[in-house]
Amino acid sequence: MSETGAPAPETSIELPEQLRSEISPLLHDEEQIRLVQATDLRPDGQYGDAWLVATDQRLLSVTRNGSAGISELPLSLIRTVELIDHQGTGALRVRTDDSGQILARFTRTLMPAFGEIPAQLESLVHAARDGEEQIENPHVVGHDPGWSRGGNRRCDRCGRVIPRRFGVCPACLETRKLLFRLLNYARPYTGLAVLSLGLMLLATWIGLTPPLLMKSLFDDVLAPTPAGTWMTPYLEGMNRGDQLQVLVLMLFAVYVSSNLMGAVRRYVLAWLGQHVTLDLRNEVYRHLHALSLSFYNERETGRVMSSITQDVGRLQDFISDGLQETIRDILTIVIICATLFYLNATLATLVLLPTPLLVFTTLRFGGKLHLVYRGLWRRWAGISALLADTIPGVRVVKAFSQEQREVGKFETRSVD
């Protein structure tokens, strides 16, 4: 325990005695070694034995491969500690107010061990400054936080483990913000979207009129009743043949107009969907080229391809069609309920009694269906990843007679 109360990190690896004898003369009175981490690369990038040594006052880089070399830096001067991912290797760099210096290099085998070094050095720097201020950025540059031991990243908000394929916690995604981000892709085509929505609303309203016309056909023409219908004032003064002709023509006009508006709407939606898909795919592809190599090292090629092809298509379906269908369904329910209560409130109440049960069943079944489809999407992504890796290397598969092995892998991924 340091004088400031900050816990001193425990030594990772015992320093070899011959190197301890070389470092000991450099240590001041009461200066103690707090951290030792062996590396398999020297600071110049060549393979060899080297050590990163931290005392309660200094940070030292010790190299011993034919000749010994020691670099040192007072802890009180350190402003930033960075871990740099060079894909095949990594490096630990410290910065002062004036310059930066790489004190350790290592292969990917030691990346989990070095993933904990910045936090440990932060405690030492804080203690060396007598608690004056903390290190500015004890983190990693250009790498995945999964370097740390165990490779699990946890969400700062909920504490859940973040899956490696995600950059953010899926449980803490704000659905509202995500929805507005998706809708932004339809903003350049607002006019067409409004036209499609208007046609849908009008077609929905017109499509709900045939039952009312059929009621008038029976109550006003075929079997007249004293109560009549909403069409009774318009049919008065006509003979039964003319009344029948008017109602039949109205029904015909309703079906024709509804189908025409549906055809126009489907064409507009198809055009809108294709252009939204084009913009979305182009942006995803552009973003993929801006990502670091570590992103591709951690993901299979087929899964990345699946994101561009299949996932973008699902987003397009939601933006151009799914959202409008949701609005149409809600509007249909509202109009039907209003019509039922207008015609007979008592009968409408009896008809709607099972509604809570239907809502509960739908939500429960929908949740299970969501899990099933999520599993299917992951399975399809896994199959795409396998195909993307196997088909380009089919010559290697045949050269080593591994056809049955690859078939077995495909069947396993198709079933699991």
Are 20 and 64 spatial neighbours (Cβ–Cβ below 8 Å)?
no
**Residue 9 placed within a domain:** no
**Residue 337 placed within a domain:** yes
CATH number, domain with residue 105: 2.30.29.30
**Structural domain ending residue among the three candidates 142, 165, 199:** 142
Residues 118, 114: Cα–Cα separation, whole Å: 8
Are 290 and 140 spatial neighbours (Cβ–Cβ below 8 Å)?
no
366 plus 320 within the same structural domain: no
Provide the pLDDT confidence category of residue 33 given band limits of 50, 70 and 90.
confident
pLDDT at 181: 77
Q: Sign (positive/negative) of CA torsion 214, 218, 221, 226?
A: negative
**Residue 163 placed within a domain:** no
pLDDT at 150: 44
Residues 146, 324: Cα–Cα separation, whole Å: 40
Calculate the dihedral angle through the C-alpha atoms of 60, 64, 69, 71, rounding to the nearest 10 degrees: -20
339 plus 365 within the same structural domain: no
Q: Which residues pair with 41 in a beta bridge?
A: 47, 105
Q: Distances from the Cα of 389 to the Cαs of 300, 302, 402, 404, in angstroms?
A: 8, 7, 14, 16
214 plus 247 within the same structural domain: yes
pLDDT digit string, tens, across residues 14-27: 666 766 776 777 77
| Amino acid at position 65, single letter | N
pLDDT digit string, tens, across residues 370-402: 778 777 877 877 788 788 878 888 898 888 888
The domain of 377 spans 355-416
78 plus 135 within the same structural domain: yes
Residues 174, 299: Cα–Cα separation, whole Å: 25
Mean pLDDT across 83-89: 76
The whole model's pTM is what? 0.52
Instruction: Reply yes or no on whether the pLDDT at 257 is more than 50.
Output: yes
Mean pLDDT across 156-175: 67
Instruction: Reply yes or no on whether the pLDDT at 112 is more than 80.
Output: no
Centroid of chain to Cα 234: 58
Q: Kind of pairing, strands 161-162 and 68-74?
A: unpaired
200 plus 243 within the same structural domain: yes
How many Cα atoms occupy the beta-carbon half-sphere of 86 within 13 Å?
11
First CA to last CA across the chain, in angstroms? 51
Q: 35: closest CA among 9, 17, 61?
A: 9
**Residue 158 placed within a domain:** no
pLDDT digit string, tens, across residues 302-353: 777 877 777 777 777 777 677 778 888 888 888 888 888 887 888 888 888 8
Are 185 and 280 spatial neighbours (Cβ–Cβ below 8 Å)?
yes
23 plus 41 within the same structural domain: yes
Instruction: Reply yes or no on whether the pLDDT at 213 is more than 60.
Output: yes
87 torsion bin: left (phi>0), alpha (psi -120 to 50), beta (else): left
Number of domains observed in the structure of the chain: 3
387 plus 409 within the same structural domain: yes
Residues 79, 138: Cα–Cα separation, whole Å: 9
Mean pLDDT across 221-235: 74
Provide the pLDDT confidence category of residue 167 given band limits of 50, 70 and 90.
low
Q: Distances from the Cα of 119 to the Cαs of 35, 124, 150, 215, in angstroms?
A: 12, 9, 16, 77
Mean pLDDT across 100-119: 82
322 plus 381 within the same structural domain: no
Provide the pLDDT confidence category of residue 120 given band limits of 50, 70 and 90.
confident
Which of 100-109, 200-209, 333-342, 367-376 shows the lowest mean pLDDT across its residues? 367-376
27 plus 41 within the same structural domain: yes
